[in-house]
Amino acid sequence: MPAPSKAPRVDAPEAPAFDGAHSVELTGELTDAQVVAALLEVGGPQLDGLAVKTTTTLGAAAAAALGAVEARVLDVAEAAFAGDAVEALRGALSTNGFLRALRTADPEAFADLDEARAAHDLAPLSLNDDDDEEDEDDDEDGVYCDGEGCEAVLVDDAAVFTDGASDYCGACAARRPGGPELRETTARARVAEVAGDDDSDGGEAP
């Protein structure tokens, strides 16, 4: 009798320790080879940030691998590069379509990077930007209920009741004693109204 085939297979690859993490740091006394090997493991479109804080001076091999990393933010502000490594890093950065931002202690070395990227149809990198706060984007699109004691934040298709000056969630609108008539809209529409003709409102579905 054959072995039961229902038993769950457990040969899925072991999830790496950084799975689910948005940022990875490479720290310590790392050789070029170690940096390259580490990058092969951690790179991926899901990676938000990669920070390198080695105590060694990295050469061109590590620099080229770092410059090509599939992450959104590359932080080399605390990494040291040999002379030709800076060139290698810059070269790789100029063709890296994953990257959005770069942090470096030497922004001047990358001053002409945007031009090089433009030649490859890539957007400029933001240099040394404080972009750890991307989560705040979510808040910006919300409508804050003005009901007394209510701190509801309404987003997307949530109903918003407005008199044009104050906005209320459904519960606050319902228990409001009176006053100007309220118009029902959605948080998304209300945000757009308040922002006026918002240029960034392009890709949204109607």
Residue 152 as a binder of Zn ion (CB under 5 A): the answer is yes
Binding mask 92-131 for Zn ion (x = CB under 5 A): ----------------------------------------
The interface region with Zn ion, picked from 3-11, 97-105, 109-117, 143-151 by CB under 5 A, is: 143-151
Residue 143 as a binder of Zn ion (CB under 5 A): the answer is no
The nearest distance, CB 174 to Zn ion, in angstroms, is 10
- For residue 141, give the nearest of 163, 159, 156, 123 by alpha carbon: 156
**Burial group, residue 144, by CB count within 10 angstroms (0-12, 13-18, 19+):** middle
User: Binding residue for Zn ion (CB under 5 A) from 150, 159, 189, 192?
Assistant: 150
Q: Which strands, in side-by-side order, build the sheet including 183-186?
A: 167-168, 159-162, 183-186
Number of residues that bind Zn ion (CB under 5 A): 6
Is 68:99 a contact under the CB 8 Å cutoff? Answer: no
Restricting to residues 166-205, name those near Zn ion by CB under 5 A: 169, 172
Distance (Å) of CA 42 to CA 13, 61, 119: 15, 17, 28
**Rounded (10°) CA dihedral 198, 129, 127, 121:** -30
User: Binding residue for Zn ion (CB under 5 A) from 145, 160, 182, 187?
Assistant: 145
The interface region with Zn ion, picked from 11-19, 78-86, 97-105, 149-157 by CB under 5 A, is: 149-157
82/150 with CB nearer Zn ion: 150
71/145 with CB nearer Zn ion: 145
Q: Reduced to 3 states, what is the DSSP secondary structure of residue 38? A: helix
Cα gap 10→106, rounded to integer Å: 47
Restricting to residues 17-46, name those near Zn ion by CB under 5 A: none
For the chain, where are the alpha helices, taking DSSP H only?
A: 32-42, 60-67, 83-93, 113-118, 137-140, 170-174, 187-195
**What's the token pair of residue 112?**
């002409």
The interface region with Zn ion, picked from 15-23, 57-65, 111-119, 139-147 by CB under 5 A, is: 139-147
Restricting to residues 46-85, name those near Zn ion by CB under 5 A: none
36/159 with CB nearer Zn ion: 159
Q: Site residues (CB under 5 A) for Zn ion?
A: 145, 147, 150, 152, 169, 172
